[in-house]
Amino acid sequence: VVGQDGNVGIKTGDTKPIELYIKGKFDATGKSSGVGLELDAEPVGGKGWRIVSTGRDAGQGAEKLVFYDQSMAYTALTIQGAGSGAGHVGIGTTNPTGRLDIIASFDWPTPTLAVRGAIGHPNIQIKSDNGGRDWRFISCGSGCGPTGALRIFDNSGGGDRMVIMPDGNVGI
């Protein structure tokens, strides 16, 4: 259905106030695995992707938004929509068990998590919002301490708790 506003509805019977709306349905047996969109650039040297909003009968489980890499046959990203895992994000998994769950499908030397920065000093913050400390793991470039060092910094207490130098020496 194409509305007067130019919006498109597929299998909906009407349009919604968004440009494209696709509605899933039950099959002849009463099952619904969800509804999706397939983007296939493989014939022109790209990748094939599938984006699926899962239904109750999906193999990945219901109420998830799944990004699937068809050329490598794996789930690249999952966003959990309901239940105790609501809001959980999974990279490389359809069943994230934490707020961010990363399952590495490659071995060394490919990193499981890469934090990089072209400007400044890339860091990872670990902080509890209920009275815990604010910790930073900082990879030092020039101007943040010894270049090439890894600093474990207590941002709540304002100081380094440990510094691992590029030559392997450790300062506490």
Q: What would the pLDDT profile of 101-135 be if each residue is shown by its tens digit?
A: 888 766 666 677 777 776 677 888 888 778 888 89
H, E, C per residue of the chain: CECCCCCEEECCCCCCCCCEEECCCCCCCCCCCEEEEEEECHHHCCCEEEEEEECCCCCCCCCEEEEEECCCCEEEEEEECCHHHCCCEEECCCCCCCCEEECCCCCCCCCCCCCCCCCCCCEEEEECCCCCCEEEEEECCCCCCCCCCEEEEECCCCEEEEEECCCCCEEC
pLDDT at 161: 93
Q: Is the pLDDT of residue 19 over 60?
A: no
* Global pTM value: 0.60
pLDDT at 76: 82
The mean pLDDT of 140-155, rounded to a whole number, is 87
pLDDT tens-digit series, residues 131-143: 888 899 988 888 8
